């Protein structure tokens, strides 16, 4: 199937049909896509010397869902090709000096709101059922996303699920041979995507395992292997992703699993609590 044209390809192809004001906006983007991807409407209008309404109409002219849609397409393209160092420099250049810690919190809240708006609840339900029915669950998460995979693995084990964590070490790929058609692989990855994660999903797909992908964009290289995909934003380009929304999504999946299998979960947790108490896992102020 032919790939959809990138936003830069659309700009180049449609440029002759544009009005002078539209061409001015296109020139701004084509000249510096890395910076323009993170302009708001007012900043884009100022750079192109046009009105804000012209910028909004321009985005619709390109077939985007308004200016936010155009921004998402540009950011998706830019984030997939920027190096970590470049992303750090870009985040510095677009961060205002007066930005406060509270504004960083607000960005995380914004990501949560975006996920709430876009989440496919039907797909989430299907994912929960797949995981509950799975004989074994493989979790693919490398580099910074490993923190998410480790969290997911910990709580799946509280449900007595048989899990395998593929953490980015090449030797863990050897464990993929244990996965069969009645198993599920959960691939967690965001820009920049790791070759390890893509390769693991490719091998798992060949072995017939069901693939669940948690990622940021439809263009993610993890998506072609997926039976189910859940999208979650991770923030603007930076050397650090915002994992607040992905963590919330994983927590929602786990809570749904515990809720749908509540009797088993209660029994297992009661047994484990007794074991934890006997082993002295948690600090008890009443004991010396």
171-216: per-residue pLDDT in tens?
Answer: 777 788 888 889 999 999 988 789 999 999 999 999 999 999 999 8
Higher pLDDT, 103 or 46: 46
- R_g (Cα) of the chain, nearest Å: 22
Summarised one tens digit per residue, pLDDT across range 8-18 is 778 877 888 88
Determine the Cα–Cα distance for residues 153 and 139; give it in Å rounded to an integer.
Answer: 7
Q: Check residue 220 and give its pLDDT.
A: 81
Q: Which two tokens stand for residue 272?
A: 């484990």
Determine the Cα–Cα distance for residues 23 and 50; give it in Å rounded to an integer.
Answer: 11
pLDDT at residue 98 tops 50: no
pLDDT at residue 240 tops 80: no
Q: Are 231 and 124 spatial neighbours (Cβ–Cβ below 8 Å)?
A: no
Mean pLDDT of 218-226: 85
Determine the Cα–Cα distance for residues 185 and 246; give it in Å rounded to an integer.
Answer: 17
Beta bridge partners of 165: 139
Determine the Cα–Cα distance for residues 245 and 262; give it in Å rounded to an integer.
Answer: 25
- Preceding amide of 256 cis, omega within 30: no
Closest CA to 246 of 103, 146, 172: 146
Higher pLDDT, 245 or 98: 245
Q: What is the DSSP letter of 239?
A: S
The answer to which of 79-83, 148-152, 181-185, 228-232 has the lowest mean pLDDT is 79-83
Q: Which two tokens stand for residue 71?
A: 């921004």
Mean pLDDT of 145-157: 93
pLDDT at residue 131 tops 70: yes
Q: pTM for this structure?
A: 0.66
* 85 confidence band (pLDDT: 50, 70, 90): low
Determine the Cα–Cα distance for residues 224 and 201; give it in Å rounded to an integer.
Answer: 9
CA–centroid distance for 285 within its chain: 41
* 84 confidence band (pLDDT: 50, 70, 90): low
| Lateral strand order in the sheet of 228-231 | 162-166, 136-140, 184-188, 210-215, 228-231
Higher pLDDT, 250 or 240: 250
- Classify residue 144 as exposed, middle or buried by CB count within 10 Å of its CB (0-12, 13-18, 19+): middle
Q: Check residue 237 and give its pLDDT.
A: 42
* 94 confidence band (pLDDT: 50, 70, 90): very low
Tell me if residue 228 falls in helix, strand or coil: strand
- Classify residue 6 as exposed, middle or buried by CB count within 10 Å of its CB (0-12, 13-18, 19+): middle
Distances from the Cα of 174 to the Cα of 2, 201, 204, 205, 256, angstroms: 33, 13, 11, 15, 31
Q: Check residue 107 and give its pLDDT.
A: 75
Q: What is the DSSP letter of 168?
A: S
Q: Are 7 and 74 spatial neighbours (Cβ–Cβ below 8 Å)?
A: yes
* 87 confidence band (pLDDT: 50, 70, 90): low
| Burial letters 21-56, b for 16+ CB under 10 A, else e | bbbbbbebbeeebbbbbbbebebbbebbebeeebbb
Closest CA to 181 of 123, 138, 152, 229: 138
pLDDT at residue 157 tops 90: no
Q: Are 124 and 248 spatial neighbours (Cβ–Cβ below 8 Å)?
A: no
Share of the chain above pLDDT 90, in %: 37
Q: Check residue 198 and give its pLDDT.
A: 94
Q: Are 105 and 238 spatial neighbours (Cβ–Cβ below 8 Å)?
A: no
Q: Check residue 280 and give its pLDDT.
A: 67
pLDDT at residue 26 tops 80: yes
């Amino acid at each position: 199937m032919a790939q959809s044209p990138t936003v830069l390809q659309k700009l180049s192809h449609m440029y002759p049909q544009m009005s002078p004001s539209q061409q001015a906006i296109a020139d701004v983007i084509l000249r510096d896509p890395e910076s323009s991807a993170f302009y708001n409407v007012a900043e884009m209008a100022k750079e192109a010397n046009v009105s804000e309404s012209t910028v909004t109409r321009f985005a619709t002219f390109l077939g985007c869902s308004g200016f936010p849609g155009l921004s998402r397409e540009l950011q998706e393209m830019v984030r997939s090709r920027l190096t970590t160092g470049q992303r750090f420099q870009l985040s510095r250049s677009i961060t205002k000096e007066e930005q406060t810690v509270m504004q960083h919190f607000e960005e995380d809240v914004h990501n949560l709101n975006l996920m709430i708006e876009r989440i496919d609840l039907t797909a989430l339900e299907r994912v929960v059922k797949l995981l509950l029915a799975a004989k074994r669950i493989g979790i693919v998460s490398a580099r910074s996303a490993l923190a998410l995979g480790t969290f997911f693995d910990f709580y799946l084990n509280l449900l007595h699920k048989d899990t395998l964590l593929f953490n980015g070490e090449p030797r863990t790929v050897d464990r993929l041979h244990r996965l069969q058609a009645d198993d599920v692989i959960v691939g967690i990855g965001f820009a920049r995507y790791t070759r390890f994660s893509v390769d693991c999903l490719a091998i798992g797909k060949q072995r017939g395992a069901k693939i669940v992908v948690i990622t940021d964009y439809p263009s993610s290289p993890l998506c072609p292997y997926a039976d189910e995909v859940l999208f979650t934003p991770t923030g603007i380009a930076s050397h650090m992703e915002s994992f607040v929304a992905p963590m919330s999504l994983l927590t929602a999946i786990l809570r749904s699993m515990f809720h749908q299998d509540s009797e088993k979960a209660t029994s297992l947790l009661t047994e484990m609590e007794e074991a934890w108490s006997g082993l002295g896992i948690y600090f008890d102020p009443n004991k010396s």
